[in-house]
Structure formats: C-alpha cells, structure tokens
Chains A and B, each alone.
Chain A
Amino acid sequence: MKTIPVEAYFAVSTALFVLGLLGMIVRRNLVTVLMSLELALNAVNVAFVGADYHMGLVEGQIFALFIIALAAAEAAVGLGIIIAIFRYRLVDSTDEITDMRG
C-alpha cells in the first residue's frame, strides 16, 4: 500500500523550505520576500501531511490547518505593513529601509 517512504516527503519538504529561505534572502522586492515566507510555511504543511499519511493519524492535518490560518493572518498584517512602508517611506526595495540601522 505505502510504496513511497516518508523520507521522500520529508526531502521534498526540506527542499521547499530551503528554497523559501533562499527567496527570503535574495529577493529585492518586499512583496516577494513575504511570498517566500509563505513558501516556507507551505513546506511545513507538506511535512505534516506526509508524516500523517505515514502514521495513519489526523493531528498533522489539523496543525496544517492552523498553519494555513496563521499564514492568512500573516499575509494580511505583512502586506498592510508593506503598504504602510511604501506610503510613508516611499521605498519598495529591501536594501533601502535603513532607518533602524545602528
């Protein structure tokens, strides 16, 4: 029945997570930085649901549901912050926001 080992799902999830992390580091645009964060959250969902399938449980799917809800909240607040930064500071690039540089 279960021909695919759970390691395969964890490998895909890890690859997604590190790609999201790379996106958070390298993107110039604030909106796409936030999108890379969403990709990393999605990777955790893949790991949860894959482990769930392996174990025959449903708890991982419930945590994935909470993660989706939190991702929606995070997108709303993050994009609100980005709009506010753009409106008051007139920047849109991640290397131009230097107000809090020590």
Chain B
Amino acid sequence: MDWIVFGTLAIWLICSVGGAILVKNPVHSILFFLSSVLATAALFLSLGAELIAGLQIIIYAVAIVVFYVLVITTIPWEKIKKFEGVYFKELSIGFPVVLIVFLLMGYMVVKGEFAQSVGKIEDNVREVGKTLFTSYLFPFEVASVILLVAMIGAILLGRKEE
C-alpha cells in the first residue's frame, strides 16, 4: 500500500516536472509547475509532514504561481510567442550530462550509509513549532528580515523610472 501511494506520487511528480521543462507554451509550463507543487505537497502529507505540506500549498501553489502568472501577463503576448520553447542543441548536449549526474548521485545514494533512526514524531505540527521557536528562533527572525529586504528590492526593481 505504501509503495502504491509512493509510486503514484513519484510518477505524477516526475511527469509534471518533465512537462514543465519541455512544453512550448509558458502558461502550460506554469500549470505543470502547479501540478508538480501539488504532487510534492501530497508526498509531504504521505511522509507525515503536515505543516510543510500546508505551507507548500499556501506559499508555492498560491503565492508564487500567481506571481509567475502575473509576470507572464505583463509581458506582451506576441513577445512570448517569439521566445517560447527550448534550445534543442543545448537539450541534446545537456540531457546526457544531466543523466550522468543523476546516475552518479544515485550511485552515491545507493552505496552510502545512512544514519539510524533516533525516534518517532507523534504530533508533527507541535514538534516542528516547538523546535522552530526554541532552537531555530534566530534563523527564523533572520528569514523575516530577508523577506522584508526582498520585498523592498522587488518594489524598487519593478517600479517605473520617472
């Protein structure tokens, strides 16, 4: 049963990622990206990470995808028509290289030793929240500063010059 769930989610994920990098139309590509984000969220749910699954849906599937669609709509459509698709020469060279990288990393994963399990998490959200606000409080605050700086930077970059 576990394998059925994992296999379905993994195939869904890989297929939607492959579609996202290979389809011609940018809007279709964004829809494939949305599908892959939902598949990742489902994979997180099957792993018992409810908080990250919810955040994945809220931040990626809602905020970031809407942002991408917004940017695509600000660019005139005839410009997009001119520059859609992929570079076929780079694809023919890049795909074997990427395949070799995948095989090397897979070999490393299969050959390597993993640390042993230290326990079991009963209540995921409670445990994550507790650890986040005790051991990782300072990085959490730094992340808020980074988000503020990114917001100001995006506004400065995106406004019209007078």
Contacts and interface: CB of A to CB of B under 8 A. Distances in A.
Contacts of A42: 36-37, 40, 60
B14 A16 contact: yes
Interface residues of A, number: 70
B71 A46 contact: no
A50 B46 CA distance: 10
B67 A53 contact: no
Chain A interface mostly helix, strand, loop or mixed? Answer: helix
Contacts of B117: 2, 54-56
Contacts, number: 221
A33 B12 CA distance: 21
Contacts of A58: 121, 124, 127-128, 131
Interface in B62-84: 63-64, 67-68, 71-72, 74-75, 79-80, 82-84
Contacts of B156: 80
B52 A29 contact: no
Contacts of B64: 38, 71-72, 75
B109 to A, nearest CB: 4
Contacts of B86: 26-28
Given A12-B14, A15-B102, A23-B20, A77 B114 contact: no
Nearest to A79: B71
A65 B94 contact: no
Interface in B41-60: 43-44, 47-49, 51-52, 55-56, 59-60
Contacts of B101: 18, 21
B150 A77 contact: yes
Contacts of B63: 72
Contact of A73 (B3, B44, B147, B158): B147
A82 B21 contact: no
B154 A14 contact: no
17 contacts: A28-B87, A29-B84, A31-B26, A52-B49, A53-B49, A56-B119, A58-B127, A59-B131, A62-B132, A65-B132, A74-B150, A76-B153, A79-B67, A79-B71, A80-B156, A80-B157, A81-B157
Given A15-B102, A26-B91, 14 more contacts: A11-B106, A11-B109, A12-B13, A18-B98, A18-B99, A28-B85, A29-B80, A31-B68, A49-B44, A65-B51, A70-B143, A73-B146, A77-B153, A80-B155
